[in-house]
A and B are shown apart, each in its own frame.
Chain A
Amino acid sequence: MISVLRALDPLYNPGVHWAELVIAVIKVVVAFGVLLVSVMLMIWFERKVISDMQARVGPNRAGPFGILQTMADGVKLFFKEDLLPERADRFVFKLAPYLSLVPAFVSFAIVPIGGVVTVAHHTFELQVADPPIGILLLLAMSSISVYGVMLAGWSSGSKYPLLGSVRASAQMISYEAALGMTVIMVVLLGGTLSTRGIVDSQAHTFFASWNLIRTGIVPFLLFMIAITAEMNRPPFDLVEAEQELVGGFHTEYSSIRFAMFFLAEFMNTITMSAVIVTLFLGGPDGPRFHFVTWLWPVLWFLGKTLIFLFAYVWLRAALPRLRYDQLMDLGWKVLIPLSLGWVLVVAAVLVGRWWGVAVILALVAAAGLLMRAVRVGSTRRAQMEEVVG
């Protein structure tokens, strides 16, 4: 038995009890299933909420309140013809959907869903995996999903997908800098890269000890904006701007491959909401009661995640899509400087109070100087234009 396992997995440690293997497998399967079902519900939820916000009815034919609409759409997509463009790079074209889908799954694996549970003398965490480099894994996965979009557009052998994917890669790389900066603040405060460690470091008092408050709210907003751009969700969905690019990077995709992109997008939405909850809102932290103790953290986690899922739908309903130059302005001129400055402040305050005050003053002075410079520059330009005009 052990030799078979060794052959399958060279890193297999024979000291591991078989039950732990079973638990690991069960955790993976459950997380996979839960994520798939919640994607189904999320798509329904988004369509229903956004139709409410637009004074429409939304899906209401399949099942009670149209809750099975996603299922119906999925089945329909399954039976559609799977087209492969003549000038497509066949291998990459087929690979790209998986490159979008798998990172979304893997990112979810590091999210702590609940506390610690003991079943039949085996204690384990409600979390698929808790690698010591957890948050780096998240950043790595969000970088890999850039490849999914980029390669999908490039391998389609068609102009609109290519344009869409070029936009996408530029956008995702720009916002990843700000994303990394905000994550650095959380890591600095928690002193650990493991997601479990980050959650534990926030679990002293309800709300006040969350990173949302401890980092001073701004990083949370920066992270929220950056992650929205990273997911290519509205208002940052230039990648699939219908008016300009047909469908964007997935124009040439049909059938189940298209469904996979769709699945990946919504799975990312759920995963990233869960990540925000983990990093800034204390994950499953919250008051718990003495009956069914393991359930309360899970409920807290779900509740907090649901707030963000609603927030994403709300963003989509309320904000118009950004222009490309506005997108780049926001990324490079606002988010990156702001997150850089805030990292300095957080780091300085961690070192010492005087350090913090000094760095804040220096940053304010620098910002003032920069603003002055920009103003002088813009008035000069206006004067020049007056002369020319």
Chain B
Amino acid sequence: MGLLDSLKEDLSFLGGFKVTLEQMTKPRVTWQYPLEKKPKPARMHGRHVLNRYEDGMEKCIGCELCAGVCPADCIYVRGADNPPGDPVSPGERYGFVYEINYLRCIHCDMCVEACPTEAITETKLMEFSFTNRADAIYTRDELVVGDDGRPKQLPWEDWRPGDDAHTSAWMRATAPGGAADYEGRVQWSGELGYGVRAPEGGQSPNRDDAATGMRPLREVLTLHLDDDERTAEQRGLQGALRRLRHRVELQRELLARRGRGGEA
């Protein structure tokens, strides 16, 4: 080994300067979370809602199957006979007491699978941090959807209008693992006309990404792709400009929001 080679090896740490300088020009992968929310995964498990039929009747029949199947033992249900004059649910019985303790719930979705009437489903709401043990226990009044079919927003819950989209719709628990026969077919039902989701497209060309809140990977990771792999509108100088404009808009929104009293 020559002197030059050993010197080269000794000074190889100078490569760090190149790496760090290159990194400065690369885009950040960070999402500005409260401002910029990722589209949530199609099958995300958030907080529960108790659904109702289109006529306003509650779906829960107080059978306690959800409580029985719950591995975390966080659901407490007591059924009661429907009052004859003023029934709460169609049929004989209804969920008289329904409580979920979110200090215990692990969002495994087994209650949803167990429910025979699709009464309990999980929404995609996940911003419900409470500061009080009593608030952790969601009661029936809090879980049941409102007359418009939307989940009720409780005082400590911090989700914005629109975050509750795709809520109150039941997805078949045993969804086919991408079998071609089921592609493009709706596999969940909407309640009170709200929260009906477009079918998940899978690989098929007729998928409706806007409706399902999904985005193709090519679009999500566009910053990290080579230019020829990008979608048509993200390609070239025009695409770069579009991305830049998006960034500027985000920054402006951040500043505007701070001006309004620092809710971020």
Contacts and interface: CB of A to CB of B under 8 A. Distances in A.
A53 B24 contact: yes
A54 B22 CA distance: 10
Contacts of B255: 64
A50 to B, nearest CB: 9
A53 B30 contact: no
B151 to A, nearest CB: 30
B13 A55 contact: no
A11 interface: no
A319 B13 contact: yes
B19 interface: yes
A55 B28 contact: yes
Contacts, number: 34
Contact of B24 (A52, A61, A319, A320): A52
B224 to A, nearest CB: 11
A56 interface: yes
Interface size range of chain B in the complex: 10 to 19
Nearest to A65: B251
Interface string A56-82: 110011001000000000000000000
Contacts of A317: 16, 20
Interface string B215-242: 0000000000000000000000000000
Contacts of A357: none
B30 A54 contact: no
Q: Chain B interface mostly helix, strand, loop or mixed?
A: helix
A208 to B, nearest CB: 26
Interface residues of A, number: 15
B185 interface: no
Nearest to A313: B20
A318 B16 contact: yes
Nearest to B25: A52
B16 A319 contact: yes
A258 interface: no
Contacts of A60: 254
A342 to B, nearest CB: 19
Contacts of B21: 53, 314
B23 A57 contact: no
Contact of B17 (A54, A64, A314): A314
B20 A57 contact: no
A314 B20 CA distance: 8
Contact of B28 (A57, A61, A318): A57
Contacts of A55: 23, 26, 28-29
Contacts of B16: 317-320
Nearest to B26: A55
Contacts of A56: 28, 30
Interface in A290-328: 314, 317-320
Contact of A52 (B13, B23, B29, B254): B23
A56 B27 CA distance: 9
B20 A318 contact: yes
Interface in B20-55: 20-21, 23-24, 26, 28-30, 32
Contacts of B29: 55
A53 B28 contact: no
A344 B52 CA distance: 92
A322 to B, nearest CB: 10
B36 to A, nearest CB: 12
Contacts of A320: 13, 16
A314 B17 CA distance: 7
Interface core residue of A56, A60, A317, A320 (most chain B CB under 10 Å): A317
Interface string B240-261: 0000000000000011000000
Given A317-B16, A319-B13, 7 more contacts: A52-B24, A53-B23, A57-B28, A57-B30, A60-B254, A64-B255, A317-B20
Interface of A: 49, 52-57, 60-61, 64, 314, 317-320
